[in-house]
Structure 1
Amino acid sequence: MEARDRSVEAWFNRVRSGQLRLPRFQRFEAWDYENIAALIDSILRDLPIGSTLVLEIGEREPFVTRPLAGAPAPVERCTEHLLDGQQRLTALWRSLHDLYDDVTLFVQLKAPEPDEDGTAPSRITRVKRWLNKDGRRFPVWADDAVQVYSRGLAPVSLLQPSDISARRQQWCDQAVQGDLQASRDLENALRDLQEKMKRFNLPMLVLDVATKPATALDVFVKMNTSAVPLNAFDIIVAQFEARTGKSMHDLMIDLRKKCPALESYVSPEQIVLQTAALRADRTPAQASFFQLDLSDVAAAWDEIFDGVNWAVQVLEEECIFDGQRLPTVTIMPVLAALHKYMPKKLDEHGNARATIRSYVWRSSITSRYENASATRSLQDYRGLRDFLAGTGARNAVPVFNDADYPLPSVEELIQAGWPKRRETLARAVLAASIKAGAIDIADGNQATRQRLANREYHHVFPDSLLRDDGGLSDRESSRALNCLLITMNTNRNISAKEPLKYLSERIDRADLGEPVVRDRLRSHIVPFEELKVGGYFEIASPEERTKKIRADYEAFMRTRADMVRASLKALAEGRNWPNEGA
């Protein structure tokens, strides 16, 4: 390995010609605009920004490559692979060519004064950009030389290390509105900044042409020093391509395209690695990812894809439509890995599907995955795999052990917190209500994946009523059993009304009267009679009012807890509730 110097101008020339390219296994852009602005500011202050890692190329490229993001199509033969430094070079190329759609970077023409502690503020200003409905880019001033200059700014793109003298002169003339001397002074100042950018040295470590691909890959993994370090997936992508000659990035793009709902639950990259680990009889954790035989992963990719797609299908059939309503993500790779063992014959498949349903719900309502979830998911996977393959007993699967993992009691259901928080049982209660149909009590529409975007979490007994007049804490009022998922319009209409009042309004406005409202509440597993309460503010005594509010709330919570527990029990037994009854 050899250390060399190279100016930003020389780097740009190689990017422009295509002599420098990225190995396909490199991840995509990971820097945010704060990192990008800090990079340019560091260059203008002559501060070091690290080094790059380059592999020299002979007659034959060892890796499949692609140009940097935003770079033109290559016109010359590739002579170098950029193994480390992609984020820095891509950030420089795109910002200095103004290639970001949602931001424009500007440089302050006068360097800001240091703060009291001696810290120099950044000289780079980021301006957020957007298009209006007519396609016009805002803010408009950011494209107006006069207004930009009046703010003491100039576009960073005027500092790019190439011959842009004509464009720079034109911008300066426009900015100062024809003042020849001011234009020349401004142009000279920008030229000085451009020269600083051109001459800035971004050093590199060079692996010569004799370096074997495996060695280059190993160095890439060990020496990556970017501001956003490589994660397990980034490393495995590189190893996967070196081992198989296939692009995992391309496979993941195809997965996202064919299974677009997956990303609403979990990171596709994460579930692929977790599924592969389980299929290899390893825990779905990072330590296992690096022990995978990537040739086996490549050979089984279609099965992994089918499994992941099936896992999403199972959750959709259980009316769990996204990660916000998914009680535990632990189940997803287990489902994906089990797909290959599902029987194909009709009745056998139906029986196996009931077991899968039982697994999904028992995992969500018991304490099975509260601790050591990776190890326990492997244990459950092994037991379910053997059962589906006909070599093991169903009661040998740990999650089905009632003694160790009993269903929640009525008291535990009452204590379950607000489902918007990451509490497994609380989310399971909400998931069961969506499984029941969750028909909006005003507009009559059932909850679906598409409609969830317009649904809000609503307190059945108003939060303000319980806290201000019932004397309850936020934890006591914001519980899963006091939650409905209803449309935004319905939620705004109900607001803080007493249950009896908004029920009466719904009955009056429903064409079919009270039976319709009863059915809609039942679709949330909500009792009707216990909500026919109110008149609290007709009670003169504050103590008696508080007592009645608390009594009504407790009665509602206990009745609903009984109903929810019966529903969860049916689901945990594998029944397709509510179609198959509780």
Structure 2
Amino acid sequence: MNTNSKPLSKYDIIRAEIEGVRGVSLDDYQHELDENHPAIKHYFELPFLILATSALMQGKLPNQRGMWNMSKEDMVDNWDKMAKGLSKMATFMESQAIYDRNRLPTNAVLAVIAALYIDIPENLDSRGNFEILLKKYLWSSFFTDRYENSAATHAFNDFVILKNIITSATKADGSHYTENDVPILNRELYALATDDELKRVGWPKRENIRARDIMDVFSKLGAYDFADGSPLTRQQLIDGRRHYHHVFPDALLKEIEADSYFALNCALITDKTNLNISNKDPLKYLKDRYNSTSEDIVNSRLQSHLIPLDELKSGDYTGLSGDEKTYKVKSDFARFIAKRAACVAKAVDILADGRDINAFEIIKDVEEHASLIQDVV
């Protein structure tokens, strides 16, 4: 307890222990870390990231028990390595277009990636190859249920095998560890989310892990604003200039008593564009945009959110009412969600394989696959 009778956090206790034994100020170290690498704090609280990464570096679980049990002297001695790892983690997360805590599906990956970077060589070829491994790990952690329970234990077990791969450690039989040994990369144990599962995911503004996963796919593609074409950035998120927008209008779906709050009915667009669209029918909005700029430009912006254009363009409800309108809106919305789910699932397969994604190629592949199925039927 401190002098104000408030329970001390584990960081407070570890800080006091270090200052008593080593005579160094952990606060000063943390302040310097934040000053030199300000992007780290966007992903989670610095005290937790410092302790969790330090625990993994010492072969301890990234949880309270591991933090208590690790050597505080070694933690201070390894501070520069830990700080470097956290800095590279933040850079890597930004390269995957994940900019802040509110868009992060699970914080379990942060210390793992930071601790792994300590052993990743600076050689460009080697680093590039191992960063492909990190991409596989990151997107697998988002789109499997590996970290939905016992996250710290599972993260530790994944970390150990990933580190063995990076450091070329050998097994008892003399063979090297491979990706097949990493639990989270084993699709028989942890399958990627399917398009049917993605269809049911709720609104991303709520604390919904899978919804954040879906929005991160669009972010990776740039999530360009429909009207001004600006790509999604961290600063836009900090300033509150990106809004969660219903692609199919909420008012339109409420009119037929249908739920509109699905991640696959959401796009992160600028506040001005969101207010301008308001409750327009999708087709009316598209026509307005095509009149102000070229059709190709508008289409490419929409595709960066994996919005299927044909299904969106079908939504002309002029002159419709009653059951006829209800049937058409429900049918159009169902086709839209199904197509977008298939596109996201395709993107997930590619990302979890460590590759980059291209919106045009994903949509084209999904459409060709659907066409082949229709031909067979």
TM-score (normalised: structure 1): 0.59
Partner residue, 2:267: 484
Aligned pairs (5 A) from 1:294-373: 294-373=72-151
What is the one-letter code of the residue matched to 1:489?
A: K
Amino acid at match of 2:244: Y
CA distance in 2: counterparts of 1:318 and 1:388, whole angstroms: 20
Query: Using the alignment, how far apart are the partners of 1:286 and 1:574 within structure 2?
Result: 32
CA RMSD in angstroms comes to: 1.5
- For residues 16 and 32 of structure 2, the distance between their equivalents in structure 1, rounded to whole angstroms, comes to 18
Q: Distance in 1 between matches of 2:359 and 2:85?
A: 26
For 2:76, what is the secondary structure of its paired residue?
Answer: helix
* Cα distance in 1 between the residues matched to 2:121 and 2:361: 25
Following superposition of structure 1 onto structure 2, how do residues 537-548 of structure 1 map, counting pairs within 5 Å? 537-540=318-321, 542-548=322-328
Following the alignment from structure 2 to structure 1, what is the Cα–Cα distance between the partners of residues 108 and 320? 50
Q: Give the one of 227, 247, 255 matched to 1:442.
A: 227
Aligned residue type for 1:514: E
**Of 337, 354, 357, the match for 1:574:** 354
Of stretches 337-346 and 365-374 in structure 1, the one that deviates more from structure 2 is 337-346
TM-score, with structure 2 as normaliser? 0.91
For 1:426, the aligned partner's letter is: A
**Aligned amino acid, residue 379 of structure 1:** N
Residue 515 of structure 1 deviates from its aligned partner by: 0.7
1:209-248 superposed matches below 5 A: 223-224=1-2, 226-248=4-26
Q: Report the alpha carbon displacement of residue 544 of structure 1 after superposing the two structures with TM.
A: 1.7
Structure 1, gaps ≥5 residues long: 1-222
Percent identical residues:
38
* Alignment correspondent of 2:285: 502
Matches within 5 A, 1:391-406: 391=169, 392-406=177-191
Larger helix percent: 2
The structure whose Rg is larger is 1
Q: How many residues align?
A: 353
| Shift of residue 580, structure 1, vs aligned partner | 12
**Distance of 1:273 and 1:468 partners within structure 2:** 51
Aligned mates of 1:525, 1:328 — CA distance in 2: 23
Cα displacement (A) at 1:371: 0.4
Which residue number in structure 1 is paired with residue 249 of structure 2? 462
Q: 1:472 aligns with which of 249, 258, 263?
A: 258
Q: Does 1:387 align with 2:127?
A: no
1:535 aligns with 2:320: no
1:420 CA drift (Å): 1.4
Q: Which amino acid aligns with 1:435?
A: K
Secondary structure in structure 2 of the residue aligned to 1:450: helix
| SS of equivalent residue, structure 2 residue 35 | helix
| Shift, 1:533, TM fit | 2.6
Higher relative contact order (CA 8 A, sep 6+): 2
Structure with more of its chain in strand, by fraction? 1
For 1:432 and 1:341, locate their aligned partners in 2 and report how far apart those are by CA, in whole Å: 28
Deviation at 1:566, TM superposition (A): 1.1
Q: Secondary structure at the match of 1:484?
A: strand
Q: Answer yes or no: is 1:520 the counterpart of 2:306.
A: no
Shift of 1:287: 1.7
- Structure 2 counterpart of 1:554, which letter? A
Partners of 2:359 and 2:24 in 1: CA distance: 45
Equivalent in the alignment of 1:565: 345
**Cα shift readout 1:196-234 (whole Å, capped 9, x = no counterpart):** xxxxxxxxxxxxxxxxxxxxxxxxxxx536343211000
Contact 2:211 2:263 in 1 (8 A): yes
Partner amino acid, structure 2, of 1:519: S
Residue of structure 1 in register with 2:335 after alignment: 555
Q: What 5-or-longer segments of structure 2 have no aligned partner?
A: 170-176, 363-377
- What residue identity is the alignment partner of 1:492? L
